[in-house]
Amino acid sequence: MTTNAHPEPAHLARMPAQDMPLRQLSGILDDPMDTNPDHYFNRELSWLTFNERVLAEARNERYPLLERLRFLAISGSNMDEFMMIRAAGLAAQVQRKIERQSLDGRSPAQQLSDIREAVHALNRTQQNTLRDLRRLLSGQGVVISGKEKLDAQASRWLKDYFAEHIAPVITPQAIDPAHPFPFVANQGIGLLFTLRRNADNTQLFEMVLIPSGLPRFVRLPGERAVWVSIESIIARNADLIFPGFTMEGNGTFRMLRDSDIEVEEDAEDLVRYFRTAIQRRRRGKVIMLELDDGFDPAAEQLLREQLGLDDAITLKTDGLIGIAGLDCIVDEDRPDLKFEPFSPRYPERILEHDGDCFAAIREKDIIIHHPYESFEVVIDFLRQAAKDPDVVAIKQTLYRAGKQSAVIAALIAAAEAGKSVTAVVELKARFDEEQNLLWASQLERAGVQVIYGFVDWKTHAKVSMVVRREENGYRTYCHFGTGNYHPVTARIYTDLSFFTADPKLCRDAVKLFNFVTGYVEPHGTEGLAISPIDLRSTLYKLIEHEIENARQGRPAAIWAKLNALTDGRLISRLYDASKAGVAIALVVRGICCLKPGVDGLSENITVKSIIGRFLEHSRIWAFANGYAMPSHRAKVYISSADGMSRNLDRRVETLVPIRNRTVHDQVLQQVLLANLLDTEQSWILAPDGSYSRVGEVDKPFNLHRYFMTNPSLSGRGGALAEGHDVPKLALRRGAV
């Protein structure tokens, strides 16, 4: 173990209106870390392997065909975001000659080179998968048309559709000295035509950019669903755009631009800064260019010269450009080609109190498991608060709320009813900045006190707080979540909602809001750990306690469920625990830089990733605390934070202790145990970085199916599986 002597990152150097707490800063600089690059996987390549697992679900023969197509589209959307943010960030480092190495010892240039190779391989797999799905879907009456010839009736319909709906909104533009090269927006798709004018035999290039308002695919009328891409429709009707010209070639292209927004330290007005930054993002540096493989070489050269591609990745394909666009075809009304519909249950505990959220919470803490249990209860919590004459104040964090947000409507209703409402709106939520600016404006007009938090740190904590006047004085009710207040993602992300009226946690929530709204550092919290103040140090203490238990010969185990694990210092602590004999079982859905199962380093650590019908999103930590059967003695926490440096050092996050006996058992012996038991959707991480499916077992278990068909956590459901207990799984090597 060596001391990490790297200087303090620039984005940690300043906190608005005050200096960073000295105890936090010293903790960062003195925090020891294993610096051996052989002990870590590369973050970017680990993410790409995650997207390979997503793409593998598009080839999962147990899934209905349109659901497989959905996974293919998701892999495309994931890749777009990765290129626009992660690859673009590395390209910027290369351009600035920054040589900072990754955990595994790679320079930015080396990582970009590896990414380029991996992206090309992934794209080939995507196109091969699409070809297979096209064939299979066609057999079921859903046709994704390519360049093949259509029958006369379909061609006539498309020609009419083009004339009425497309021709009026597209603008062909010549590319020559008299016409400046048009601006191509981020994720923009265009066609470049090589033409020869019949009148004088002059060759010229014409570009047609596809407006974002046009649909990506158009469905032909008829019982048989035939879908044609918008670029194919334009190419098929080029003679209507260019009468008097002979077509010599055409090609489709799509580009991605650097889309990250860096907040400058001297930004005086965050709202004005982000409105300007969003406009700048649309003109970011080109990071990737997609071309169909029939692109005219001369036209391609012109495109490259005009765009100034430099080191941008170029993908040539004989398939579909913009795989993410397939998601609209998934909406085809074919229930036989989709998962069986699932309706979330409304929490029984609330129903038992005639829908009175406050009465139910006052009686006992409640844990809600989304999407199996409806997110509507979170909205009802706020709606009831808005209508209740005894509620005097509501405080709410908002990271991503979606475009149609009932949460926003409830907060506005509360403010209009005369209640004191404070909303912490995070402007820096990537790709939701514009929507959050809109929500902030609407909230302010309704009288809500809108706070934008810190300039340097994102407020990622998921907390809602209601103060109510009751018979014995004021009582506070809190909701702590692992996921966003987003009604759409709440139907497909697995997350936990914890409702409590515990005075200690509620007092901590007050301190959290005071920290974000007034920079008042939350000293002396009674249960809640808050990053970037003490969440990291709290995890360290819990891990160290397990190490000490192992050294003293007591049972020692750590179980965690995360979306990502990339922080080198946290990983080093887990390595220390493994060396001391602590059994560690990790469920990490996405990026994992920790190498499990390495002799002398991590032989007591297992890592699995779960990819299935729902996106695993909840974050849970559990520690055996010295007990072999820790049913109610283990220390259990839910969190908004992943195991990443940004969550621990550069975001406001929460780590919430679960102390209520019933809720404790539900989180540990239901949710966490189900993840450990799952075999049908699980991938095991090997020491070499490869992932493999669990494969056939005597008693297969699918955690998503289990929670869809069994009693809700908030009801009277029994234990997950008789005879199964977390320690039996986790206190031996290879348990997962």
Domain-wise residue ranges, the chain? 124-337, 348-518, 529-730
Task: Pick 141 or 427 by higher pLDDT.
Answer: 141
Judge whether residue 680 has pLDDT over 90.
Answer: yes
Judge whether residue 378 has pLDDT over 70.
Answer: yes
Angle between helices 43-57 and 65-82 (to 10 degrees): 160
CATH, domain range 529-730: 3.30.870.10
What residues contact 528, with CB distance under 8 A and at least 6 apart? 505, 508, 509, 511, 512, 522, 654, 655, 656, 657
* Residue 116 structure tokens: 């380029």
> Using one digit for the tens of pLDDT, what is the confidence trace for 695-726?
888 889 999 999 999 867 765 544 454 444 43
DSSP letters spanning 486-527: -TTGGGTEEEEEEEE--HHHHHHHHHHHHHHHH----TT-SS
Question: What pLDDT does residue 430 have?
Answer: 62
Mean per-residue pLDDT of the chain: 87
C-alpha 677 chain-centroid distance: 24
The pLDDT > 70 percentage for the chain reads: 88
Helix (H, G, I), strand (E, B) or coil at 673: helix
Q: Which of 6-10, 137-141, 195-199, 710-714 has the highest mean pLDDT?
A: 137-141
DSSP letters spanning 195-208: EEETTT--EEEEEE
> Using one digit for the tens of pLDDT, what is the confidence trace for 203-241?
889 999 999 899 999 999 998 999 999 999 999 999 999
Binning pLDDT at 50, 70 and 90, where does residue 727 land? very low
Query: How far is 650 from 653, CA to CA, in rounded Å?
Result: 9
- Across residues 296-315, what is the average pLDDT? 83
Question: What pLDDT does residue 275 have?
Answer: 52
Query: How far is 176 from 164, CA to CA, in rounded Å?
Result: 29
Question: What pLDDT does residue 276 have?
Answer: 59
What residues contact 106, with CB distance under 8 A and at least 6 apart? 42, 114
Question: What pLDDT does residue 696 have?
Answer: 85
DSSP structural state of residue 359: H
Angle between helices 406-416 and 376-387 (to 10 degrees): 10
Query: How far is 217 from 161, CA to CA, in rounded Å?
Result: 12
> Using one digit for the tens of pLDDT, what is the confidence trace for 29-85?
467 899 999 999 999 999 999 999 999 999 999 999 999 999 999 999 999 999 988
Query: How far is 627 from 727, CA to CA, in rounded Å?
Result: 9
Give me the residue label for tokens 């071309």: 291
The pLDDT > 90 percentage for the chain reads: 69
Query: How far is 187 from 170, CA to CA, in rounded Å?
Result: 17
Task: Pick 457 or 67 by higher pLDDT.
Answer: 67
DSSP structural state of residue 346: P
Q: Are 1 and 572 within 8 A, CB to CB?
A: yes
Start-to-end C-alpha separation, the chain: 28
Annotated active-site residue in 39, 369, 370, 460? 460
Say which CATH superfamily domain 348-518 falls into: Endonuclease Chain A (3.30.870.10)
Q: Are 615 and 563 within 8 A, CB to CB?
A: no
% helix / strand / coil in the chain, to the nearest 5?
A: 40, 25, 40
DSSP structural state of residue 39: G
Question: What pLDDT does residue 279 have?
Answer: 54
Binning pLDDT at 50, 70 and 90, where does residue 25 land? very low
Binning pLDDT at 50, 70 and 90, where does residue 333 land? very high
**CA–CA distances in Å: residue 140 to residues 101, 130, 291:** 50, 15, 30
Q: Are 638 and 496 within 8 A, CB to CB?
A: yes
Question: What pLDDT does residue 288 have?
Answer: 93
DSSP structural state of residue 68: H
Question: What pLDDT does residue 453 have?
Answer: 76
Question: What pLDDT does residue 11 have?
Answer: 30
Question: What architecture does CATH give domain 124-337?
Answer: 2-Layer Sandwich (3.30)
Question: What pLDDT does residue 12 have?
Answer: 28
- Across residues 588-592, what is the average pLDDT? 97
Question: What pLDDT does residue 29 have?
Answer: 44
Least confident of 82-91, 210-219, 426-435, 604-613: 426-435
Own/partner pairs for 92-100, CB < 8 Å, 24+ apart? 92/258, 92/285, 94/311, 95/310
Question: What pLDDT does residue 262 have?
Answer: 54
Question: What pLDDT does residue 226 have?
Answer: 95
- Across residues 447-460, what is the average pLDDT? 87
Least confident of 172-176, 396-400, 627-631: 627-631
Question: What pLDDT does residue 719 have?
Answer: 45
Binning pLDDT at 50, 70 and 90, where does residue 729 land? very low
One fold for both 348-518 and 529-730? Answer: yes
Question: What pLDDT does residue 3 have?
Answer: 37
Question: What pTM value is reported for the model?
Answer: 0.89
- Across residues 458-468, what is the average pLDDT? 95
Binning pLDDT at 50, 70 and 90, where does residue 17 land? very low
DSSP letters spanning 654-665: EEEE--SHHHHH
DSSP letters spanning 430-498: TT-HHHHHHHHHHHHHTT-EEE---SSSEE--EEEEEEEEETTEEEEEEEEESS-S-TTGGGTEEEEEE
Question: What pLDDT does residue 16 have?
Answer: 38
Task: Please say if 120 is a catalytic residue.
Answer: no
Query: How far is 439 from 398, CA to CA, in rounded Å?
Result: 10
Judge whether residue 541 has pLDDT over 90.
Answer: yes
Least confident of 90-99, 186-195, 280-289, 584-593: 280-289
Binning pLDDT at 50, 70 and 90, where does residue 633 land? confident
